[in-house]
Amino acid sequence: MYGAVVDSMKVYFVGKVDRQLVKRAIAVASQLIKVPAGLEIYAVESPRKFHLVLRRLPYATQSLVKQAFSLNKISFSTQVRGRKIIVLVLNRAMLQNPDALVGLLLHELTHIKQQNEGLTDYINQAFQKAFLSKVAHMHHPRFSADALVKTFVELGLISTLLLKDLYATTALIESGYERYVVAHYKSRFSDNKLCQAPINLRLLHRLVRRDLDLLVSAARVEAYVAAVFLPLCGMKTKQAKELRKFIEMCYPTQVKDCEQNCRPLMRLYAKEFSYSQAFCNNFFKVMLERFIKEIK
């Protein structure tokens, strides 16, 4: 692991990483969004090197990071005990387009910015009030209370990550950074290692009535697509259309199914989106109602 100081940031390179490419991306991103003081950035060659970064993080957060990492949150940001950390796991497609790496940096910097502004508090409070508090009292004739709680806590985590990504992506588009947003997601969906194997969502949704694990699998796939698709669905630009094509290549049969299953969420996003406690509450209500409907 090699470390360097770049404009007051501590940047660590893990594995065989193009250091100049990363430094240039940091320089561009820092001109577009304010970089917090003392930021630590870890640029990682591949997921195989991830453990080298994990052991440098505060122990109290390692289990949470592992859980997020398992949910396709390959690159992520976190704040713990005053430390502000961004981990970038690089892929080949991203390295071929400098705008993609800038877009990823902007995305993670926006997460930190929104957390500092209190948006994460809104999300966590809404999750507790509109989602988790309801789960504790759930009953079902085919599933035990423990199984329901375990599954719905995981669904809540997936929903929380989705909402955070929706907020970050929407904010970047509103700031005029669509070019970098599209490049970032285009690189992600054109990378075979990140692009999941095709999943028949219609079949999954029929089977979840017997297997709660399948409900989680379906939710992961749909959240992965919805986090990108919702903020771009109203945009008619050439870049947005190209990104949809890439998503359809990655999930050839699932985009329309995902749109159908996420229709209540799409309506909520289109009509009521705001950076408010009320929207967060309504978001988790919609997600909970949808998951409950799946297992009836």
DSSP string, 216-258: HHHHHHHHHHHHHHHHHTT--SHHHHHHHHHHHHHSTTHHHHH
Q: Give the pLDDT score at 55.
A: 75
Whole-angstrom CA distances from 112 to 6, 29, 134 are 18, 14, 29
- Strand pairing partners for 78? 85
Q: Which of 158, 76, 81, 168 is nearest to 120 (CA)?
A: 168
pTM metric for this prediction: 0.88
Q: Give the pLDDT score at 32.
A: 96
Task: Give the Cα separation of 223 and 219 in Å (integer).
Answer: 6
Q: Give the pLDDT score at 143.
A: 78
Task: Give the Cα separation of 268 and 287 in Å (integer).
Answer: 11
The answer to whether residues 168 and 107 touch, using CB atoms and an 8 Å cutoff, is: yes
- Residues of the chain with pLDDT below 50 are 71-72, 194
**Strands 40-44, 76-80: parallel, antiparallel or unpaired by DSSP?**
unpaired
Task: Give the Cα separation of 120 and 160 in Å (integer).
Answer: 10
- List all residues 6 or more positions away from 123 whose beta carbon is below 8 Å from its beta carbon: 160, 163, 164, 167, 280
Q: Give the pLDDT score at 118.
A: 94
The answer to whether residues 89 and 74 touch, using CB atoms and an 8 Å cutoff, is: yes
**Tokens 């990104």 appear where?**
243
